[in-house]
Amino acid sequence: MPTLRYVAPDLLKRSVIVVASIAVCAAALSGCALPPLESRTPSVAISAAEARTTTLGRSAAHDLAAHHDMAGIYPLADPRAAFAARMELARTAERTLDVQYYIWRNDRTGTLLLDALRAAADRGVRVRLLLDDYGSSSLDDTLAALQTHPNVEVRLFNPFVIRSPKFIGFLTDFSRTNRRMHNKSFTADGAATIVGGRNIGDEYFGATDGIVFADLDVLAIGTISIDVADEFDRYWASESSYPVDLIVRRAGADKPDELNRKARTIESDSTAAAYLDAMRDAPIVQQLLDGTLSLEWARTQMVSDDPAKALRQAPSETSVV
* CB 138, CB 113: distance < 8 Å: no
Residue 24 maps to a domain: no
Characterise 291 by phi-psi region: left (phi > 0), alpha (psi -120 to 50), beta (else).
left
Residue 175 maps to a domain: yes
Residue 203 maps to a domain: yes
Per-residue pLDDT tens for 204-258? Answer: 998 887 776 788 999 999 999 999 999 999 999 999 999 999 999 887 766 778 9
> Of 82, 89, 117, nearest to 260 (Cα)?
117
Q: In sequence order, which residues have a C-beta less than 8 Å from that of residue 181 and are 6 or more positions away?
A: 100, 102, 130, 132, 157, 158, 235, 240, 307, 310
The separation between the first and the last C-alpha atoms of the chain, rounded to the nearest angstrom, is 45
Q: Report d(CA 62, CA 288) in Å as an integer.
A: 12
88-108 burial code (b ≥16 CB/10 A, e <16): bbbebbbbbbbbbbbbbbbbb
Neighbours of 294 (CB within 10 A): 7
Per-residue pLDDT tens for 256-301? Answer: 789 999 999 998 888 777 777 767 777 899 999 999 999 999 999 8
Q: In sequence order, which residues have a C-beta less than 8 Å from that of residue 158 and are 6 or more positions away?
A: 132, 133, 134, 176, 177, 179, 180, 181, 240, 310
Amino acid sitting at position 119: A
* CB 259, CB 145: distance < 8 Å: yes
Q: What angle do CA 221, 300, 316 make, to 5 degrees?
A: 125
Which strands make up the sheet holding 296-298, listed edge to edge? 241-243, 152-157, 126-132, 96-101, 185-188, 192-196, 217-222, 71-76, 296-298
Neighbours of 80 (CB within 10 A): 18
Residue 20 maps to a domain: no
pLDDT score at 54: 97
Segment 59-84 shows an average pLDDT of 92
Per-residue pLDDT tens for 304-315? Answer: 888 988 787 766
The enclosing domain of 250 has a CATH number of 3.30.870.10
Total structural domains within the chain:
1
Q: Report d(CA 139, CA 255) in Å as an integer.
A: 12
Whether residue 33 has pLDDT greater than 90: no
Residue 10 maps to a domain: no
pLDDT score at 131: 98
Residue 156 maps to a domain: yes
Quick check: bond before 165 cis, omega within 30? yes
Amino acid sitting at position 92: T
Parent domain of 209: 51-302
Per-residue pLDDT tens for 175-200? Answer: 788 889 999 999 999 999 999 999 99
Per-residue pLDDT tens for 118-172? Answer: 999 999 999 999 999 999 988 999 999 999 999 999 999 999 998 878 888 888 8
**Packing angle of the helix pair 108-122, 79-92 (nearest 10 deg):** 20
Residue 309 maps to a domain: no
Residue 2 maps to a domain: no
Neighbours of 200 (CB within 10 A): 26
